[in-house]
Structure 1
């Protein structure tokens, strides 16, 4: 049953991704917006909601009003490939992502269409260009940065935040919203030292519901005399 469930879900996932990408590419060049946000971003949110229903992911938001018309950065923890879908579920968002994602078929095309900022962390000029882009970008819809810098084991331990994200927020005086996502069961959703295919197969074959608590913490607006290192530590 596990294998049958996984095959059916993954097939539906691929078909939905193909159709949504096709629709986004067809309208991405048109100046259509809804509630001040480009239509392709709303289509990515719709795809996210569909996927979370398909895989029986149940979300509980704590203080969801803090996301209403929010302009700024969102700084969540990072433990799963589902994190992106969850960040897109409530409303459209954009992301800071690794540069190689730009060239991925379908996913990379959607990422570009919704305004993702790409960075090659091994390239200093790329990092500086990403910082410059983030300092100039319109912060509505919000921009999601994962300050841990990746997914690391063990998944139940928060890694020290890199101060670069806080430095960007501090330089522009841009507010940021710390966010915590807690998964149950965690072992099904954690993407550890394994291929995405292995992780997706385990996740797609799981028959139970997956519960995620999304805690939206108090918004923080950096002051001119704040220290980004201290902001990262305190957050």
Structure 2
């Protein structure tokens, strides 16, 4: 389900005088994506037969592309803490499509996404090329998806998923769902896996609606993208990497879910309101 609010989203409109800035950034982003993905696909042709399901090389390209994309957009990311080196997964609150760039730029991860994204024009192809794990939130497919998770974890992939199941307006953390945490409790993996909670906090540009970077409800992706590219000055994103939680220390998936959600909420609430310095 997509999260919605009784308060309508900010109007997706911008000054026509910003078109040169939009076109410049959009062209640079497009060129970066085409070059980065083409290079990655070529490397994958070598990586796949040598390493199989493991991907020790191509995530480096994804991370570099995402870092450059954020620079093109002019959106700075401030990081507290360190991404874990243990096997397992990262979980974070979800506010925007920008999370894909922000979190990929900070760590080499493989996203877990709803299956519908695979069919989205452009974005679906991008997600498939970067090794995204696609799932359906359907109990009838729970066993198959659990096995898919186990295979990727056994291959050493560090997964990243959003337990809220939907994005919001950047102003809140929604309740975490425990379903996907079940895959971490299989006997052959449990003792070696960790979950690292990450808090993601967006600060809008000075004078803009605080929900400027949020993407939720029936907001159109194209309009939201253009508004962000049109902004002369951006705000910023704060990431807080919390200490990893050993799965073996948790009695069950619900306890692990509550522990991860508590850490994310604490880090989100602790971020002070930020104002751009003049």
Q: TM bucket by the smaller chain?
A: 0.7 to 0.9
Instruction: Name the CA distance, whole Å, in 1 between partners of 2:167 and 2:250.
Output: 31
1:102 maps to 2:118: yes
Change (3 A) 1:148 1:38: same
Secondary structure of 1:218's counterpart equals coil
Distance across 1 between alignment mates of 2:202 and 2:174: 17
Question: Hey, what does 1:230 align to over in structure 2?
Answer: 255
3-state secondary structure, aligned to 1:28: helix
Structure 1 residues 197-212: aligned runs within 5 Å: 197-212=222-237
Residue of structure 2 in register with 1:136 after alignment: 151
Measure how far apart 1:57 and its partner are.
1.5
The match for 2:215 is 191
Conserved in 2, the CA contact under 8 Å of 1:13 and 1:51?
yes
**Contact 1:70 1:141 survives alignment (8 Å):** no
Q: Deviations over 1:7-50 (max 9, x none)?
A: 221222222212222222223221278xx843322111111011
Q: Residue 46 of structure 2 corresponds to which residue in structure 1? A: 30
Return structure 1 stretches of 4+ with deviation > 6 angstroms.
none
Q: Does 1:111 find its partner at 2:136?
A: no
- Encode CA deviations 1:57-101: one digit per residue, 9 max, x unaligned: 11111112xx15342100011001111111111332101112133
CA displacement 1:188-235 (0-9 Å, x = unmatched): 211123010111011111111321111111211123761322322233
Q: RMSD across aligned C-alpha pairs, in angstroms?
A: 2.3
Answering whether residue 80 of structure 2 is matched by residue 55 of structure 1, we say no
The 1-side partners of 2:132 and 2:151 are apart by 13
Structure 1 residues 39, 109: closer, same or farther in 2, change over 3 A? farther
Aligned 1:157-196 pairs, distance under 5 A: 157-171=172-186, 172-173=189-190, 174-185=193-204, 186-193=210-217, 194-196=219-221
Residue of structure 2 equivalent to 1:89? 105
Structure 1: distance between partners of 2:29 and 2:87:
31
Tell whether 2:239 aligns with 1:214. yes
Q: Which runs of 5+ in 2 are unaligned?
A: 1-16, 205-209, 261-278
TM-score, L = length of structure 2: 0.74
Unaligned segments of structure 1, at least 5 residues: none
Task: Tell me if structure 2 keeps the 8 A contact 1:18–1:106.
Answer: no
Larger Rg, first or second structure (1 or 2): 2
The answer to whether the Cα contact below 8 Å between 1:28 and 1:113 also exists between their aligned partners in 2 is no
